Structure 1
Amino acid sequence: MVRRKREKEKRPALGVPNSIALFATPMGWRHSVATVDGGMHCGHLADVPATADPVEACAAAEAMVKGLAYHFHGIRADVIWESPLEPGSWTAEVIAEVDGATTTPHDSCHPCAACASNASAG
């Protein structure tokens, strides 16, 4: 009797993102992406200089998160930026659309609106 090899289903290298934190540092823009399974992906925003405007950094972080969600899971994601609590840091909720349903109910708003309003105020 020949045994068939059991193929283990590979788990994606990155879980579905559910939030992102963005930090301005003297060396550049850093990010931390939290996932629904408790994982975290941290690093710097590539191709975004340390002197970049917060709106530009938010847009780059949003594009990165949407790309990760699509690349690893084949899903669409929306990023809802919150008003910054302290200078130099921004947070956002990531709403993933899985099988036509969102992971969290939300009101639609302009992405990075918090960054844009903060940049114009300061």
Structure 2
Amino acid sequence: MLAISASAIGLIPGIGATSYGVAVLVIALLFTAFPVQAALRIRESRDPANRLRPLKAALGFATPVAYLVGALLLIAGAPAGLVVFAAGSILAIMAAAADLAGRPRGGAALTAFRPPRSAEVRRPPAAAA
């Protein structure tokens, strides 16, 4: 969501580099709440399958940090901030792919929209004759 939001702001006609940097800085700060919440949940999980908890928690911060750094560079007048935004977008895609790969059945977001398997369909008990 952060990458999409930042990209959409960049498409505003006539937006200057400093304004773009300030807008992305604000959005990146807001979106930092999501990895904080995820890190807390990862830390609380005691599931043996939840290996490498610190690495999983850190991965969530990679994208917001990239956008924060890129925003600060743009505000400072360095066009390299746009390159850092591009890296942040790639990190967001990689983090999403890693998250989906680690979820059972292809990820909770995907399973919410798949039709139930025949074994999962609950049928009412047959009426007594």
TM-score (norm 2): 0.27
Largest Rg, 1 or 2: 2
Structure (1/2) with the larger helix percentage? 2
TM-score (norm 1): 0.29
